[in-house]
Amino acid sequence: MLNNTDIITQEEEETFFKTISSNIKRVRKEKSMSQLEVALSIGHKSSGFYANIENYSHGKHFNLKHLLRLSKLFDVPIEEFFKPIK
């Protein structure tokens, strides 16, 4: 049986989450929405928690429910969040 650390490195995991966060931030700005607006729209009561996720601060990251809600809110395919950063 494989150990979880043998499947993916910490660096690969961080790159994955940072890519998603960066793409969401880009789309949010393209849609001219504030962090507070988005936070409230996806069920958070303040922008602080959302800001930490969007900036991948303290290891906080988006979950699948967030991604689904954000894709609907932004009216973009969920795949948009997984595009490699240029």
pLDDT of the residue at 5: 62
Q: Give residue-wise pLDDT tens across range 30-59.
A: 999 999 999 999 998 889 999 999 999 998
Q: Is residue 48 part of a domain?
A: yes
Amino acid at 22: S
**Count of domains forming the chain:** 1
pLDDT of the residue at 60: 92
User: Is the backbone of residue 58 left (phi > 0), alpha (psi -120 to 50) or beta?
Assistant: left
Q: Is residue 4 part of a domain?
A: no
Q: Is residue 6 part of a domain?
A: no
Q: Which residues lie below 8 Å from residue 40, measured CB to CB, with a gap of 6+?
A: none
Q: Give residue-wise pLDDT tens across range 66-86.
A: 999 999 999 999 999 999 987
* pTM of the predicted protein model: 0.89
Task: Residue 53: give the domain boundaries.
Answer: 11-82
Task: List the CATH number of the domain containing 39.
Answer: 1.10.260.40
> For the chain, what percentages of helix, strand and coil (3-state, to nearest 5) are there?
70, 0, 30
Q: Is residue 43 part of a domain?
A: yes
